[in-house]
Structures are given as structure tokens and as C-alpha cells.
Amino acid sequence: MSGLLECLLQALLPIARITGGYATITDREGVRIRTVDSAGREVQTLKGKIYNLAREAGQSGKMSVGPSQITEGAEAWCLPLGDYVLAASNFERLKCEEELAESLKQALPFIARVAGGEAVLFNEEGRRIASVGVDGRNNTNYIGKVSIAAQQAIQSQRPVIGESISGMGAVAVRIPITRKFGFGFNNEQGVLRQRKLLEEVKKFQYARYNFTDIIGASEAIEKMKSRAAFVANGISSIIISGETGTGKELFAQSIHNASERRSKPFIAINCGALPESLIESCFFGYEEGAFTGAKKKGSPGAFEQANGGTIFLDEISEMDFNLQSKLLRVLQEREVTRIGGGEPLRVDVRVIASTNRDLVEMIHNGTFRNDLYYRLNVVELKIPALRERLEDIPALVKVFINEFNNLLGKYVTGISDRAIYQLCRYQWPGNIRELKNCIEYIMNIVSINENTIELSHLPQYIHSALSQSREEKYFGTLAEAVAVAERESIIGTLKHTGGAKREAAKLLGVSTTTLWRKIVELGIETNISIR
């Protein structure tokens, strides 16, 4: 063996490793003497085979560069050295890249699901060679589309973030993997969900309810309805406070419909349901080009849409602290400036806000601006909890039974005294909303041939709560004697008035609320029917 051949054979392994493929020694005719892979293993199947590119180099005496003879797409070079030709290709590197690309292709459905949008694989031209939607299905319509940003990612070999070409307002990331391909994903579905959320939050663009829709004749609710109706025609801001489920939006809509603004828009915005990234543009609107995905000619915000009417800011306590200062300026100056705009727009809007939290406590904790609180809290309406107006439960139950009769095709005509008594003893932490859900549950389990709600139909959580309350309650001898006397007096008076509670309360010298509370506490059954 000549010294040159021995030297070339020793060089095959490092050359194969560096080039990422096969390294070969041939004679001048291109006949392979030895071929090794990047691990140093000799490829016996190629021994004695003719390598055309090596033969060209051997005959011309010049170095040749061209396609690999083994794998399409791989490249090779051949260098003539005396009686031999040294050749190498990037066959294995190409194979590794192909396997990596295939692996990424299989991962696209998972990437799409996590990112909340389309996931793609693109080539060196920025052309999509695979595309999968958030549902895991292949987007064949998008195959072949070229992205300039994807091209830039391949050329610069750096990730590129920018606007998606498949969804307005969506942001896409393009990441180069090799010089040949890369992958990308966008948040198209996330943007769509945010838009749907925005539409959901803003879907009630008119006031449907009036004070007559607020059910109840208790002193507490009548007093609140009277006060709300009295301030309805004013222009001052109103804060409606109360626990969750007490009907704060019902009051807001009723105030609007009782005011001179009734023919103008009523715009309701749930401050707690909107993400921080959307709420400012929702409030104040934006100009064209203000941000990626902004509509042409821009979009008016809620204050512009409510011009001349009323804007209802539900869950005002959940508003971002920084946004509170911008809202304060709108209330003070009576003008708004769109995002990306320069000229302020005058607006005539009455603001009604609601909260189920203690704003004064939030001010002390530094999470709500005191100047905004005093600007909003010109008039405060505190909606009573359902446990503070127990005498309204029968009327509410009657309304809900009728509603679900129509929805569920049932024929319930009443509720037993024992059942209504238990409903009146329960504390209702979820207020009217919880009561309505309770009746809906009952109406679902009542059979088609039952026309009366019985004690057995009540949800188990109510039985459990009342059982625990009864176990904790204890009366001494004096209390028992007083209770017996009160019970007899109330029963006698109710018989005298024919069950009319207001008249009975006057005769007993107590308020209707006190009388009803005593009826509940003493277990006095009354005839309550929706017939």
C-alpha cells in the first residue's frame, strides 16, 4: 500500500465526522476502495462500486462538486490526489435534518394546541410545507403560502416575531431550525377567543328591564326601588353595591329605562371579565394602525357608543389600578381619547357602576383610587341580600316556577308550606341567583305528573345546611315560653286578618319584615300557592 493511500485512508474518519456523511477513497476511474460513515464504520455494500462524480474528478484532474450518488438532496465533493480521489458527502447530516423535520411535523398538533393557533413547518424559501390548526387537523389550504418573516428567520438564523398571515390581530413566531427549514406558530385562536369574550361582555347593548321586573314587596326592596326611581332622572354617577346575585344589573337597567336617556344606548361592560390587554381599547376605542390587527378606520370604545346614554361598569372593583386613573379623567373632563389618537372626543355619558366588594376597604389597601371612588359614589344604592328580604321568597319562587314550566314543559302549580318554610329558613349566600338555580334544579327532577314542589324535592345542600343550623340552635326555658306566646299571638292575628301579613303586622305593632322573620323562626305555616 502506497504512503499516499495509507494517509488518505487514515483521514477518512475525521473527514466523515466533519462533513456529516460518508467519506470515500476511489481510484481515478471512480471505483470505491473504501467508504466509511461518521462513526468510522466501513460501508461494505459500496466497496467496488463506481462513483461517477469521483470518476469525473479523476479524469479531469480538477475538484468536482455535485449531488450525492446515495441520497437525493445531499451534496458531495471530490478531490483528485495522485492516483486516487478523496470524496465526501453530507448524506448523514441531511438524513438527520430530515428526521428532525419529520419529528417537528409530528409535534405540530401539540404545538398548535398549546400555542392556541396554527403551527407550521416552512422551508428555506419561507414556504409552508406543513400546517396544522388548533384542532389538530391539517390545513391543506395554507400549504405553499410564503411568509416574508419566515424567509427572514431562515436567512438571519434568528427567531422572528410579527403579524400572522392567517389571522388578523394574531401574532406569529418563526424559529429557524437549520438552513433548510424552521417552524412557527401563532395565537390565532387566543385572539378569536378574546374577541368573542369582548362581544360576550358587550352583548347587552340595550336595557331590557324596568322596576316592575324587580320582584318583591318587602320593605327593604320597596325602599330601594323607590330610591332608585327617585334618582333615575338625575345626571350624577351611581354606585350600586351588593352581594353577588342580588340583581345589581337589573337595577342599573331599570334606572336607565326610567330616565330621560331611555331612548339612548345602554352599554354594559363587565370589568372583571375582560383581560387587561383588551379593556382599555374596549373603553376608549382605537385609531387605525394603533396596534397589530387594528381595524381600518379604527373602532369606537364603549364611552363613544354610550354617548347620550348610560354606561354600566359591572364589577368596577376588578378594574386595573392604572386604568382607574384614565377612567377618572373621562369622568372629570367628559371626553375620551382613542388609543393611537390625538384629538379628544366629547361624550355625554351617565356612569352607573356596581361592586360586590367593599371599595372603602380596597382604598385602605391601596387597590382602588379614592378620587375615583368619590367621583363615582355621588349616589349609592345598596341592594339588600335575599336573607334580608325573606318575605319576597314566595313571590320569587312563583315567578321562577312559571318560567321553568314554560322552558321545561312542566305543570307545577304550587309549592307546599313545608318546602317554602325551609326555603325561607336557608341563608342564600348566592342570593336570588342561587334561588333561581335551586328552583331550576327542582323543576328538572319533578316528574311530569307532579304539580306541587314538596320538601323532598329540595336540594340536599339545603337540607344539610338547615340540619346543621338546627343542631346549633338552643333555647332556654324563658325563651321557649316567649316563643310559645309569640307563636300563639301571631297565629291568632293571621287568622283574624285572613292571612294578610301587612294588616297583621299593623295589629301586632311590628314591621312586615319583623313579622315574616318571626313566622320563619317560629315555624308558623302559611298557605302559599301560585294558583
Question: Average pLDDT of 170-193?
Answer: 84
Residue 229 lies in a domain: yes
DSSP conformational letter for 375: H
Residue 274 lies in a domain: yes
Residue 531 lies in a domain: no
SS3 (DSSP) at 327: helix
Please tell me whether residues 380 and 263 are part of one structural domain. Answer: yes
SS3 (DSSP) at 379: strand
Please tell me whether residues 404 and 516 are part of one structural domain. Answer: yes
Decide which of 516 and 431 is more confident: 431
Reported confidence tier of residue 1, pLDDT bands at 50, 70, 90: low
Say if residues 521 and 493 touch (Cβ distance below 8 Å).
no
Distances (CA, A) of 460 to 167, 213, 267, 436, 464: 49, 30, 39, 16, 6
Which of 304, 265, 251 is CA-nearest to residue 282? 304
Q: What is the pLDDT of residues 407-435, one digit of tens each?
A: 998 999 999 988 988 898 888 999 999 99
Mean of all residue pLDDT scores within the chain: 85
How many other C-beta atoms can be found within 10 angstroms of the C-beta atom of residue 518?
A: 18
Reported confidence tier of residue 472, pLDDT bands at 50, 70, 90: very low
Last residue of a domain, one of 42, 67, 89: 89
Range in 127-131, 292-296, 300-304, 485-489 with the lowest mean pLDDT: 292-296
Per-residue confidence (pLDDT) for residue 451, from 0 to 100:
92
Q: Is the pLDDT of residue 528 over 50?
A: no
Please tell me whether residues 15 and 107 are part of one structural domain. Answer: no
Distance between CA atoms of 390 and 428, rounded to whole angstroms?
10
Last residue of a domain, one of 129, 157, 192: 192
Please tell me whether residues 216 and 318 are part of one structural domain. Answer: yes
Per-residue confidence (pLDDT) for residue 200, from 0 to 100:
52
Please tell me whether residues 17 and 138 are part of one structural domain. Answer: no
Decide which of 380 and 491 is more confident: 380
Please tell me whether residues 401 and 517 are part of one structural domain. Answer: yes
Residue 197 lies in a domain: no
CATH code assigned at 212: 3.40.50.300
C-alpha cell of residue 166: 392567517
Owning domain of residue 335? 202-384
* Dihedral of the alpha carbons of 369, 370, 373, 379, in degrees to the nearest 10: 180
Q: What is the pLDDT of residues 82-129, one digit of tens each?
A: 999 999 998 888 888 888 888 999 999 999 888 888 899 999 999 999
Please tell me whether residues 167 and 226 are part of one structural domain. Answer: no
Per-residue confidence (pLDDT) for residue 167, from 0 to 100:
55
Which of 304, 221, 293 is CA-nearest to residue 269? 304
Q: What is the pLDDT of residues 216-232, one digit of tens each?
A: 989 999 999 999 999 99
Reported confidence tier of residue 153, pLDDT bands at 50, 70, 90: very high
Reported confidence tier of residue 299, pLDDT bands at 50, 70, 90: confident
Give how far the C-alpha of residue 231 lies from the chain's centroid of Cα atoms, to the nearest Å. 36
Distances (CA, A) of 334 to 346, 358, 388: 6, 27, 38
Say if residues 264 and 308 touch (Cβ distance below 8 Å).
yes
Please tell me whether residues 251 and 365 are part of one structural domain. Answer: yes
Which of 339, 340, 357, 262 is CA-nearest to residue 303? 339
Distance between CA atoms of 493 and 472, rounded to whole angstroms?
30
Q: Is the pLDDT of residue 404 over 80?
A: yes
C-alpha cell of residue 297: 378606520
Per-residue confidence (pLDDT) for residue 247, from 0 to 100:
94
Reported confidence tier of residue 57, pLDDT bands at 50, 70, 90: very high
SS3 (DSSP) at 475: coil
Please tell me whether residues 265 and 346 are part of one structural domain. Answer: yes
Q: Is the pLDDT of residue 166 over 80?
A: no
Per-residue confidence (pLDDT) for residue 293, from 0 to 100:
47
Per-residue confidence (pLDDT) for residue 440, from 0 to 100:
94
CATH code assigned at 83: 3.30.450.20
CATH code assigned at 511: 1.10.8.60
Reported confidence tier of residue 236, pLDDT bands at 50, 70, 90: very high
Per-residue confidence (pLDDT) for residue 142, from 0 to 100:
79
End-to-end CA gap in the chain:
115
Please tell me whether residues 394 and 464 are part of one structural domain. Answer: yes
Per-residue confidence (pLDDT) for residue 66, from 0 to 100:
92
Decide which of 188 and 440 is more confident: 440
Please tell me whether residues 315 and 379 are part of one structural domain. Answer: yes
Number of structural domains the chain divides into: 4
Q: Which residue has the cell 351611581?
A: 238
Please tell me whether residues 457 and 329 are part of one structural domain. Answer: no
Per-residue confidence (pLDDT) for residue 380, from 0 to 100:
94
Question: Average pLDDT of 508-520?
Answer: 81
Residue 122 lies in a domain: yes
Residue 505 lies in a domain: yes
Question: Average pLDDT of 192-210?
Answer: 64
Q: b vs e for 104-120, b when ≥16 Cβ sit within 10 Å of the residue's Cβ?
A: bbeebbebbbebbbbbb
Question: Average pLDDT of 155-173?
Answer: 78
**pLDDT more than 90, % of the chain:** 47
Decide which of 208 and 341 is more confident: 208
Q: What is the DSSP string of 236-290?
A: S-EEEE--TTS-HHHHHHHHHHTSTTTTS-EEEEETTTS-HHHHHHHHHEE-TTS
Question: Average pLDDT of 142-162?
Answer: 89
Q: Is the pLDDT of residue 506 over 50?
A: yes
Q: Is the pLDDT of residue 476 over 50?
A: no
Per-residue confidence (pLDDT) for residue 529, from 0 to 100:
39
Last residue of a domain, one of 47, 62, 89: 89
- Please state the pTM of the whole predicted model: 0.56
Residue 529 lies in a domain: no
Residue 299 lies in a domain: yes
Q: Is the pLDDT of residue 139 over 50?
A: yes
Per-residue confidence (pLDDT) for residue 68, from 0 to 100:
86
Q: What is the pLDDT of residues 4-28, one digit of tens each?
A: 898 999 999 999 999 888 999 999 9
Amino acid identity for residue 484 in this structure: V
